[in-house]
């Protein structure tokens, strides 16, 4: 709703006079909301956005354009965009009925043309965007995303904004190597497990991390270290010498949080994962 003011000027014989000022209100008939299905994110996540448009007027609104800035922000005098539209994911409904996909004239900012909202009806636009390397991954980081509806005879643009927050949890991956790759019978074999955390929160005892592996060939005379410190059974791990099944005790594995730096030239966030190493050595 917008207030407008108007005043007339009367000119005659080189003189002028003004009328009183009249005031009116221009009622906005289109309302919009924007909702992210996922309220938190980690790098690489796909976020689903839902934009609802409600037309309270008695005339259909046609030829509207939706422009989504995909969370763009300024960093070191340049514009960076933390979301990437996932091609082919946009769906468009009017009054709950799926319509043909409207024209997408640009993907960054996402620009969709030819949207209509029926009289006393609604339209819904749904699409996915991937969280890319320009999104802040640190604790408290946010992506603030604004969609703007314009055209179609609207007196003023209509906007809707949604904010999602960086998740505070570990994100673990594991890789395994063996040395040597060729070993004689009764020889010594070493397995090294590299556990990396790209999340902004450390994996601690409360996360109940466990690692299981069944060694084939079965190992004997096990020696186990974690981050260079000797481990003992059954305090830190259990091992079945008959089956080769190895398992760490819940919560014994911890992994520090990642650290992050933002490239001052490109604005991209670089992830330096937290690392823990488990080494198991035994006789074949």
Give the model confidence (pLDDT) of 151-182 as tens digits: 988 989 999 999 999 999 999 999 999 999 88
Q: Is residue 12 part of a domain?
A: no
| pLDDT tops 70 at residue 4 | no
Question: Domain boundary at 105, 132, 166, which?
Answer: 166
CA–CA separation, 256 vs 19, rounded Å? 73
- Taking residues 238-252, report their average pLDDT: 97
Q: Is residue 253 part of a domain?
A: yes
What pLDDT band is residue 27 in, cutting at 50, 70 and 90? low
* Sign of CA pseudo-dihedral 213, 219, 220, 225: negative
Higher-scoring residue by pLDDT: 185, 230? 230
Instruction: Using a pLDDT cut of 70, give the percent of the chain over it.
Output: 97
Single pTM value for the model: 0.82
Alpha helix positions (H), 102-188: none
162 and 191 belong to one structural domain: no
Q: What is the pLDDT of residue 259?
A: 97
- Domain range for residue 198? 172-283
What pLDDT band is residue 25 in, cutting at 50, 70 and 90? low
Short-list 91, 62, 69, 52, CA closest to 150: 62
Q: What is the pLDDT of residue 1?
A: 53
Question: Domain boundary at 166, 191, 212, which?
Answer: 166
Quick check: 222 and 282 in contact, CB under 8 A? yes
Question: Domain boundary at 147, 166, 185, which?
Answer: 166
Q: Is residue 242 part of a domain?
A: yes
In this structure, what CATH number is given to the domain that contains residue 178? 2.60.40
Q: Which residues are within 8 A (CB) of 28 and not within 5 positions of it... i.e. 6 or more apart? A: 1, 2, 155, 156, 158
In this structure, what CATH number is given to the domain that contains residue 33? 2.60.40.740
Mean pLDDT of the chain: 94
CA–CA separation, 191 vs 209, rounded Å? 19
Question: Residue 207: phi, psi to the nearest 5?
Answer: -85, -10
- Taking residues 19-39, report their average pLDDT: 84
Q: What is the pLDDT of residue 182?
A: 86
Give the model confidence (pLDDT) of 131-156 as tens digits: 999 999 999 999 999 999 999 889 89
Number of domains, the chain: 2
């Amino acid at each position: 709703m917008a207030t407008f003011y108007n005043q007339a000027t009367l000119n005659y014989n080189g003189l002028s006079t003004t009328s009183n000022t009249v005031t009116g209100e221009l009622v906005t008939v289109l309302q919009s909301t924007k909702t992210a299905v996922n309220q938190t994110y980690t790098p690489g996540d796909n976020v689903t956005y839902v934009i609802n448009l409600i037309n309270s007027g008695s005339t259909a609104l046609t030829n509207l354009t939706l422009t989504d800035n995909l969370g763009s922000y300024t960093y070191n005098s340049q514009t960076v965009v933390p979301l990437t539209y996932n091609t082919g994911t946009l769906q468009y409904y009017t009054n709950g009925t799926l319509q043909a996909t409207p024209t997408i004239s640009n993907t960054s900012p996402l620009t969709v043309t030819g949207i209509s909202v029926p009289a006393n009806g609604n339209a819904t636009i749904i699409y996915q965007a991937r969280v890319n390397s320009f999104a802040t991954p640190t604790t408290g980081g946010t992506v603030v995303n604004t969609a703007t509806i314009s055209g179609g005879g609207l007196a003023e643009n209509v906007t809707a904004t949604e904010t999602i927050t960086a998740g505070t949890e570990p994100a673990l991956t594991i890789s395994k190597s063996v040395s040597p790759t060729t070993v004689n019978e009764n020889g010594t074999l070493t397995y090294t497990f590299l556990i990396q955390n790209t999340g902004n929160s450390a994996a601690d005892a409360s996360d109940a991390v466990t690692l299981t592996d069944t060694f084939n060939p079965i190992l004997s005379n096990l020696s186990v270290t974690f981050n260079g410190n000797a481990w003992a059974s059954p305090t830190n791990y259990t091992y079945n010498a008959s089956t080769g099944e190895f398992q760490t005790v819940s919560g014994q594995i911890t992994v520090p949080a990642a650290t992050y730096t933002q490239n001052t030239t490109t604005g991209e966030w670089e992830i330096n994962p937290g690392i823990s190493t488990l080494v198991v050595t035994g006789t074949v």
